Structure 1
Amino acid sequence: MGNKLERLWYSDRRPLLWLAPLAWLYGWLVKRRRKAYTSGRRTVHHSPLPVLVVGNITVGGTGKSPFTAWLVEHLRIGGWHPVILSRGYGATPDYYPFVAKPDADPAECGDEPVMLAQQTGAPVLVDPTRARAAAYAERHQLGDVLVCDDGLQHYALGRALEFCIFDGARGIGNGALLPVGPMREPLERVQSVDFCVITGQPTHNAFQTLFPKSVQCHPIELVPTALRNLHSGEIRGLEWLQGRVVNGVAGIGNPARFFDTLTGLGARVIPHPFDDHYRFRAQDLNFLHGPVVMTAKDGVKCRAIASDDVWVLDVIAQPDDSLVTALDQQLEQPGKDRTHG
């Protein structure tokens, strides 16, 4: 159902326009909720640590997790000790906050927290109440900067910097608010974020025609690095994909982007899209011909059921120099109050 809705939202038309009254109500509630935090009517946790929030204002995959992993590594290189805060979609721990270890069960704490723990080595706290996770990190002195993954709309936690991520090809879809379109917040929201980041080539016409002229968009590339066997850990170069028939498996927000990446690397892809955060079973990976190639996020859920011919395509984010320079300038001002809510 999720993928079908997204196909409607990310078309040029608005086939769900009959739901416009609900979209108007949703937009009114969104603005009212944000104003409640910015006006002080609702409590905001202002951490003594810098809080960097990575998120989006559209539904679906935009490349937030690779960017979050890059941001954590960049902070570490700069001498910081980052802690990641994550909602943990689908998480079912016995308590919160839950510390997600690299070998944790994704069914217990969510797939993205486990993936980020594996990729970054940073402490990852899972809690739908990000302010509570922030307080835990402060109390236990886990680090000196907090990176909130997918927390742009979590206004109960104040923030020093905001990064809003867009998919370059899908942009804002039909531009309508939920449930008519994919927008979680109105497009005007980008004027209040610190960094507008576009993954891939910014080909959607919204970036040229609808975005406020005052907003500078920073492109980042999602660069494949290698193939990793999920069962044995063997590493193979990307040239292994050239001319090879592979079963592309993706349970992410935008499976088509993953299949296009494999095709661009020379593979002959048989696509198998699944809903975002799908819980895989062994039979889901049982294909008659060809190896299986999946995303890193799916890989953490499939370690226990992977056969010898299941591979993960590892990807890293590479921002442009202008973003890196602007970010470093902001990080040199740790005492500056840039809290948005």
Structure 2
Amino acid sequence: MIERIWSGESILWLILWPFSLIYGMISWLIRLSFQIGWRKIWRAPCPIVIVGNLTVGGNGKTPVVIWLIEALKQRGLHVGVVSRGYGGKAKCYPLLVTNETSTVEAGDEPVMIAWRTNVVVSVAPQRHIAVNALLKLYNLDLIICDDGLQHYGLYRDHEIVVIDGIRRFGNGCWLPAGPMRERASRLSTVHTIIINGGKAEEHEISMTLKPCQAVNLRTGQIISLNKLSFIVAIAGIGYPCRFFEMLTNEGIDVVAKFAFADHYIYNESELCNLIKENQCLLMTEKDAVKCRNFARPNWWYLPVNVHLQGSAVCTLLDDITKLCTSHHNLHSSINNNE
């Protein structure tokens, strides 16, 4: 139902429109309070790159974070990640993500990023606390903030916005009548716009998600996706249809599909009841980090890789690399003068 309202297919958005005006006014006042100095913006002693959205969930933000980490690591940069840790609740913050950290504590996305990339990840509702925790322990060239586009208390050196190229901005309304956290006009102030699927415009970077091979949750065995049979697919992400469509596009026959809410907390018996003895369970990597501790032998997950196209990709990486170089040179000069 909410998808129909946000897409404009249902006129029920009119009922929610007054609440959207309130949301929009509050958002505008929060941003204004930082712009005119009523509230202080904290600036980190290293470059901060924000990867975020204008709309609610399911845009492909976290895969872009993973792609960016790997691309910058290949350039020799030492990267850290901070996150709010949505869906998690730690006993205290900041929380540094380790191999033993559960998604209940940190949320699924920070655990997934650490699991996939092996970079240091810190979680705290206030991002500057998470940043400080990393910088006290590690010598980093830059920090990527997973989400946080609307967290204006943190100064950012580069902003990347990821947009679903198929759904774009739906009916264009603020929450809850529409999917917008901020209006589309905000794009005029960001540095990089990445379009996941659909058709990218001249000033946008085109992105596609490509499936890797299937990985067994219990053993880590890697096999070709087409070698799995009698597949039951599940997805607890912002836009589950994208995962199911990917399987269809790969020519994979699926016995059944089950969509769950984003950040859904699974339990073993629930998932076991979805499949029969001769079937296998296939899930997203984001789901896998929540199920790895109670996985059965016939449970698999499908990682995805981001593919970006166009000359603007090199420009993006060059700009971020220059930020790090300039910052390093500045601090070297200050230290030499002292």
TM-score normalised to the size of structure 2? Answer: 0.90
Go from structure 1 to structure 2 and tell me whether the alpha carbon gap of 1:161 and 1:261 turns closer, same or farther (over 3 Å shift): same
1:10-43 deviation per Cα after TM superposition (whole angstroms, max 9, x unaligned): 3444422122111112111111111111222111
Could you tell me which runs of 5 or more consecutive residues in structure 1 were left unpaired when the two chains were aligned: 209-214, 337-341
- SS of the counterpart of 2:234? strand
After the TM superposition, which of the residue ranges 5-14 and 122-131 deviates more from structure 2?
5-14
Determine helix, strand or coil for the equivalent of 1:184: coil
Deviations 1:102-136 (A, max 9, x none): 34211111111111001111000011100111122
Work out the CA distance in 1 between the residues paired with 2:109 and 2:61.
10
**Unaligned ranges ≥5, structure 2:** 328-338
For residues 78-117 of structure 1, the aligned pairs below 5 Å read: 78-117=75-114
Q: Which moved more, 1:137-146 or 1:147-156?
A: 137-146
Q: Please give the per-residue CA displacement for 1:163-200, whole angstroms capped at 9, x wherever unaligned.
A: 11111222111211111110010110111111111112
Distance, in Å, in 2 between the alignment partners of 1:216 and 1:245 is 43
Whether the 8 Å CA contact 1:166–1:199 is kept in 2: the answer is yes
For 2:264, the aligned partner's letter is Y
1:144 matched to 2:102: no
Q: Pick one of 13, 23, 31 that aligns with 2:28.
A: 31
Partner of 1:181: helix, strand, or coil? coil
Letter in 2 for 1:273: A
Does residue 322 in structure 1 map to residue 311 in structure 2? yes
Q: Deviation of residue 142 (structure 1)? A: 4.3
Distance 1:246 1:37, change over 3 A: same
2:212 aligned counterpart, secondary structure: strand
User: Which residue number in structure 1 is paired with residue 258 of structure 2?
Assistant: 272
Determine whether 1:220 maps to 2:217: no
Change (3 A) 1:224 1:56: same
Q: Which residue of 2 aligns with 1:212?
A: none
Within 5 Å, which residues of 2 pair with 1:1-341?
4-202=1-199, 216-241=203-228, 244-269=229-254, 270-286=256-272, 287-288=275-276, 290-334=279-323, 335=326
**Paired letter, 1:326:** T
Verify the 8 A CA contact 1:14 1:174 in the aligned structure 2. Answer: no
Report the CA distance shift for 1:119/1:170 in structure 2 as closer, same or farther (over 3 A): same
The answer to whether the 8 Å contact 2:158/2:320 transfers is: no
Deviation at residue 151 of structure 1 after TM alignment: 1.0
Q: Distance in 2 between matches of 1:94 and 1:35?
A: 33
Return the offset for 1:148. Answer: 0.1
| Other structure's SS at 2:290 match | coil
The one-letter code of the counterpart of 2:267 is R
- Alpha carbons of structure 1 residues 180 and 296: separation in structure 2 relative to 1, 3 Å: same
Kindly provide the amino acid, as one letter, of the partner of residue 260 in structure 2. Answer: F
Query: How far is the alpha carbon of 1:309 from its aligned partner?
Result: 0.9
Range with bigger deviation, 87-96 or 54-63: 87-96
Q: CA RMSD in A?
A: 1.7
Partner Cα separation in structure 2 for residue 94 and residue 293 of structure 1: 32
Equivalents in 2 of 1:71, 1:23: separation in Å?
Answer: 33
Q: TM-score, normalised by structure 1?
A: 0.89
Q: Distance in 2 between matches of 1:249 and 1:238?
A: 15
CA distance in 2 between counterparts of 1:6 and 1:108 reads: 29
Q: Give 1:233 shift.
A: 1.0
Q: Deviations over 1:202-250 (max 9, x none)?
A: 3xxxx77xxxxxx711111111111001111111113325xx4411111
CA–CA separation in structure 1 for the residues paired with 2:169 and 2:204: 14
CA contact (8 A) 1:13 1:174 kept: no
